[in-house]
Structure 1
Amino acid sequence: MNTDTLTGAATDLGGKLKEGVGTATGDRTLREEGKADQLGGKVQQRYGEAKDTIEDTLRPVIDQVRQFVRDRPFASAALGGVLGLAVINTLRGK
């Protein structure tokens, strides 16, 4: 869990409290601010969860690539050259 997830959850909770106070006191503006805070908190929380998912998914792949480069530096350089030429030719339209 990262800071975005925690901050989003806290903002969502604060929004719920603000909405409750606004409902209890009849303050429509405070109630609407609470709803807006909840939405912003949920968005930030989902963003944090997405970051965690991407990190958990990509980290093993990146570690494998790093290990391949350490174990086979010449093959990595050759592969990088081939991929570089492929990108250049693609950009040039060939």
Structure 2
Amino acid sequence: MRRGGGELESEVADRAAPVVLRHAEKLPEDGTLVVASHGGTIRTTIGRLLGLESQHWESLGGLTNCCWSVLGEGARGWRLLEHNAGTLPEPVLGDDD
């Protein structure tokens, strides 16, 4: 259903997922692609990459501000490794610490 005349979630995924895939294909082996966007766009794109039916995208839940999700590409396609994560990794100490 269109809310306020905007795009359908499927239209957002149709537009965003191919862009993510195009850039992911250009990565070197073990490369990392960072995508910043609105939570709804991230959720629908993740749902599309995972091959979920659109009615199940909502089950991924919202993405809290300043949080992230991590996907990895495996032998059978994309996998969701982390979702709505917000804890920064431990700082790396330099040689002088």
TM-score greater than 0.5 by the shorter chain = no
Select the structure of larger CA radius of gyration.
1
Q: With structure 1 as the length reference, what TM-score do the two structures score?
A: 0.30
Indicate the structure whose relative CO is greater, using CA pairs within 8 Å and at least 6 residues apart.
1
Greater percentage in strand: 2
Greater percentage in helix: 1
Q: With structure 2 as the length reference, what TM-score do the two structures score?
A: 0.29
